[in-house]
Every structure is written in C-alpha cells, then in structure tokens.
Amino acid sequence: TRPAVQILPFSAMAVGGRALTVERSRMMSTAQPPRQRSLALQMSTEAWKPSAKMPRKFIVGGNWKCNGDRASIKALVQALNNGPSVAGSGVDVVVAPPMLYGDYTRGMLRPDFGVAFQNCWVGGGGAFTGEVSADMIKDAGFDWVILGHSERRSLPEIKESDEVVAAKTAYALEVGLKVMLCIGETLDERQSGKTDEVNARQLSAVAEKVTNWNNIVIAYEPVWAIGTGVVATPEQAQETHLAIRKWLAKNLGADVAQKMQIMYGGSANAANAESLAKQPDVDGFLVGGASLKPEFLKVIDSWKKKLE
C-alpha cells in the first residue's frame, strides 16, 4: 500500500522520449514531530527479527573514484588477479574504475570480480551532453552502478538531492542494473543526533519511487569518516546498520530487511575491516582509498570473520 503523501513537483524533464518527473514529497500530516515524519513511510507494521536461517552474502566494493591511469590500473588489476579466487566463496567483489577505464579494467580483470560504474544519468538517453544513461551502462555489459555517493550529494559543483538520487535509482533498476545505494550523515548531523533521521530521509526518497528492492545494496557512509582517517567504531557501525535494518523492516517489510546487504563505507581498510566484519549487521564494505592499494585484498578476506 502506498503511503499517503502529497506530491509537490520538483522538476520535469523529457528524457529519451519519456516524461520523467522528479518529485519532492512530504507527509500530509503535520501533527507528527519532525523526527517521526522523517521515519513515516509505514508500508508495513511487521515486527522484524533477525533470522539465522537467512544468512546474507558478504559484498565488498572498491570505489576508485577519479583516480588512476592505464599503468596504475593495470598494476592494481594484476594485484587483484594474483589474489585468491572469490568464485563460489562467501563474498562478492565489485570494483568501480573511472568511467573511461571501465572496459579496460573489465578486459583484464578475472571474471569472478564484477565491475561497476560510479554514476549514471537520471533517465534515458537524449540531449544531455556529458552524461551516460543506465541503458548505455547495461548495453555495454555492466551490471552495477553506485548512486548517491556522499561526494555527489555534497560537492558544491554537483549537489545531488535525495530526489535526484531516488530518480536515478528507480531508472537504473528499471533497465536491469544493480544499485549500490549510498546514504549517510555529515559530522554536524551526527553531532546533532540526526544520524537515523538523515538515513531515513534518504531511504524514504527512494521508497517513494521504488517498490522492488531486490537489486539494491545499501552502503552506509558516515560522511565524517570518508577520506578523513576517522572511522566509526565497530559498535557505532553496528548501531547504525541495525537502525537502517529496522527502518527497512518497518517500511518495506521483514523479508526486505533480512535479505538486505548493508555495506559500511567510512574509511574501511585492512586495519579495521576484521573488527567491523564481525558485527552482525555489517554485510560488507564500500572501500575508497584502500581499494587502490594491495591491502584491498585483506579487506576482501575479512568476510571470513563471518564464519567465526
């Protein structure tokens, strides 16, 4: 059942022959406190309880961002290829090179690794200079795209809104891509006690447009920990991941909550991956700087901590 919302037009664009409307929505009731309204998409009232019968497969993503050239990427791929195979193991591994090097990377990388794009356009093709559509990514043989990364949400040159991230996610899923959906709070928001509120707001925007979450993996990125050398403690990561899973159970159902892989994306590296991987609601990592180094193999190997 869709939630009772009032849809406010945000912008409308003709995209690839389709009318695509990016909408900003707010809950009709203003009687609720702001925090309750941010958590308000109540699609299900099922109580969520973890199930040992439905283990989630570990997943590790390497986001290379705007780094590398042919020589450095070749060396990095060779290091990955020389590592242990992940085929048939308890972990999936997906790397996201800069767009220009997608085919170059895939052509050298072992087939047990996946390759993702770091972004896509909000809809289909058309007169959108410099953009790449999800259709093109799928047609080129790629399966994954990273959306909503904190840098794209926060960099002043980009400033993607929750609504734009939601529209991109919906379209990417529509054409058959799998999505690493990034969410997370800034340092100011965390210090103000708004971590759960921010995550719920960002998830709610996607829930307004997406009903089937089977091909979504959530990456929780505490923005204050990205590229700073500061990392959430295992206890902090677990607390937030559990809150996200409870939101999923409340709003999308217990089955979605139980199956959803939730990655940690705040400066994960070889030094902290094992302690983070031991947490019951940490299902993998979206790795930035460490994915450009040989230590990425140790992050991948941390999945074995789930067996202990």
CATH number of the domain encompassing residue 221 = 3.20.20.70
149 is catalytic: yes
Which of 149, 151, 160, 241 is catalytic? The answer is 149
pLDDT in tens, 117-152: 999 999 999 999 999 999 999 999 999 999 999 999
Res 220 pLDDT > 90: yes
Query: Is residue 189 included in any domain, yes or no?
Result: yes
The answer to the question of residue 27 being in a domain is: no
Higher-pLDDT residue of 60 and 3 is 60
Q: What is the 3-state secondary structure (H, E, C) of 205-232?
A: HHHCCCCCCCCEEEEECCHHHCCCCCCC
Residue 48 lies in a domain: no
- Name the percent of the chain lying above pLDDT 70: 82
Task: Identify the band that residue 225 occupies on the pLDDT scale cut at 50, 70 and 90.
Answer: confident
Q: In the chain, what is the greatest distance between 2 CA atoms, to the nearest angstrom?
A: 59
How confident is the model over 167-200, as pLDDT tens digits? Answer: 999 999 999 999 999 999 999 999 999 999 999 9
- Residue 178 and residue 139 in contact, taking contact as beta carbons nearer than 8 Å: no
- Which range of residues forms the domain containing residue 258? 58-307
- Is residue 1 domain-resident? no
For residue 1, the model assigns a pLDDT of 42
* Average pLDDT of the chain, as a whole number: 87
What domain count does the chain have? 1
Is 5 domain-assigned? no
pLDDT attached to residue 258: 98
18 versus 254: the higher-pLDDT residue is: 254
Residue 170 placed within a domain: yes
pLDDT given for residue 233 in this prediction: 94
Confidence of residue 19 (pLDDT cuts 50, 70, 90): very low
User: Does 286 score more than 60 pLDDT?
Assistant: yes
Contact 263, 251 (CB under 8 A): no
Domain assignment present for 25: no
Q: Report the C-alpha gap between 201 and 214 in whole angstroms.
A: 20
Instruction: Give how far Cα 293 sits from Cα of 63, 68, 109, 265, Å.
Output: 12, 11, 16, 16
The percentage of the chain sitting over the pLDDT mark of 90, rounded to a whole number, equals: 77
Least confident of 25-39, 174-188, 210-224: 25-39
* Residue 100 tokens, joined: 């220009």
> How many C-beta atoms lie closer than 10 Å to residue 146's C-beta?
24
pLDDT at position 53 is 54
pLDDT (mean) for 267-277: 94
Q: What predicted TM-score, i.e. pTM, was given to this entire model? A: 0.84
CB 300 within 8 A of CB 277: no
Whether 4 maps to a domain, the answer reads no
Catalytic-role residue among 160, 163, 197, 221: 221
30-34, 171-175, 183-187, 228-232: range with lowest mean pLDDT = 30-34
Angle CA 154–159–160, to nearest 5: 105
What is the model's pLDDT at position 226? 83
